[in-house]
């Protein structure tokens, strides 16, 4: 999702310094007008506001807090905007490390998938000081249609994890519903039409239902990432003293999917676990 977000900034004539582990992404962004950076310290030296979009907590922690990471060599003028899905605890810890260096940090996780990133139609859930949100806003508006300031640092990640809870549970429910319809001999598209104006409707049903009906899943929302997010959801639940039975069951299904070789398949491919 980071590459289409960066392309939208470039389309808005914003000077962009880019760094990635993927040379292909660097080459594509450079051909679109971005300035490549060879290492993380070069990013903090050349750019005042730094956006990160990373696949998991371990990568985020390394990129920000590792010996050669963004924070150790940052400048007081740096504002870090973390759009990845990580734990609130890591967001707070990273913010504290940035503040110790005189820099600032907000967590601004995103929802909308690759399509939303490409179309600059993401929903952004930002946590941090209002002044820092205001500083980042001109750039965030080129990435998403909706930016919510939901409180202090870490709260953006809380809201994103709540979203991911519903994504996982609703997707699994949608898979089961459409497979049941097909097994019972009902046209799945007619079911989806009926449900679109019924209480059983949901955004994930509208997304997942046609994929299950067509048995065409793709890899837009890889199962491994949803499984990662659900682990973070359960970690947050433990931190606040809650038990979430539906999420625990969803985690089991996601782990089964990963073990079945569906890591890179879209999460809608959960339907294959209950369908021939």
Each residue's pLDDT, cut to its tens digit, for the chain (276 residues) gives: 999 999 999 999 999 999 998 889 999 999 999 999 999 999 999 999 999 999 999 999 999 999 999 999 999 999 999 999 999 999 999 999 999 999 999 999 999 999 999 999 999 999 999 999 999 999 999 999 999 999 999 999 999 999 999 999 999 999 999 999 999 999 999 999 999 999 999 999 999 999 999 999 999 999 999 999 999 999 999 999 999 999 999 999 999 999 999 999 999 999 999 865
Which candidate in 141, 160, 183, 252 is catalytic?
160
Residue 6: per-residue pLDDT: 96
Told to judge if 160 belongs to the known catalytic residues of this protein, a careful annotator would answer yes
Is the distance from CB of 135 to CB of 49 less than 8 angstroms? yes
Task: Supply the DSSP string of 118-156, one letter for each residue.
Answer: HTT-EEEEEES-HHHHHHHHHHHTTTEEEEEEEESTTHH
CA of residue 44 relative to chain centroid, distance: 23
Distance CA 214, CA 203 (A): 18
Question: What is the rounded distance in angstroms from the CA atom of residue 4 to the CA atom of residue 34?
Answer: 13
CB 199 within 8 A of CB 124: no
- Closest Cα to residue 136, out of 156, 163, 158? 156
List, in order of start, the domains of the chain with CATH numbers. Answer: 2-152 (3.40.50.720), 158-273 (1.10.1040.10)
Q: What is the pLDDT of residue 276?
A: 55
DSSP class of residue 49 equals E
């Amino acid at each position: 999702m980071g590459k289409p977000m960066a392309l939208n900034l470039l389309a808005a004539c914003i000077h962009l310094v880019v760094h990635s582990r993927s040379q292909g992404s660097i080459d594509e962004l450079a051909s679109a007008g971005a300035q490549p950076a060879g290492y993380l310290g070069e990013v903090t030296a050349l750019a005042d506001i730094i956006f990160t979009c990373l696949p998991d907590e371990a990568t985020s922690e390394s990129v920000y807090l590792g010996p050669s990471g963004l924070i150790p060599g940052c400048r007081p003028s740096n504002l870090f905007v973390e759009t990845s899905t990580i734990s609130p605890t890591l967001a707070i810890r990273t913010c504290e490390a940035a503040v110790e260096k005189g820099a600032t940090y907000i967590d601004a996780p995103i929802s909308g998938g690759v399509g939303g990133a490409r179309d600059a139609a993401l929903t952004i859930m930002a946590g941090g000081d209002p002044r820092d949100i205001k500083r980042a806003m001109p750039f965030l508006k080129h990435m998403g249609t909706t930016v919510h300031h939901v409180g202090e640092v870490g709260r953006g990640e809380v809201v994103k994890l709540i979203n991911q809870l519903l994504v996982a549970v609703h997707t699994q429910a949608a898979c089961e519903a459409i497979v049941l319809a097909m097994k019972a001999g009902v046209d799945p598209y007619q079911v989806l039409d009926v449900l679109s104006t019924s209480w059983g409707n949901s955004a994930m049903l509208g997304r997942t239902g046609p994929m299950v009906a067509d048995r065409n899943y793709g890899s837009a929302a890889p199962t491994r990432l949803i499984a990662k997010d659900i682990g973070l959801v359960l970690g947050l639940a433990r931190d606040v003293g809650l038990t979430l039975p539906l999420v625990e069951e969803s985690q089991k299904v996601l782990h089964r999917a990963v073990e079945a070789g569906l890591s890179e398949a879209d999460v809608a491919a959960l339907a294959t676990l209950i369908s021939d």
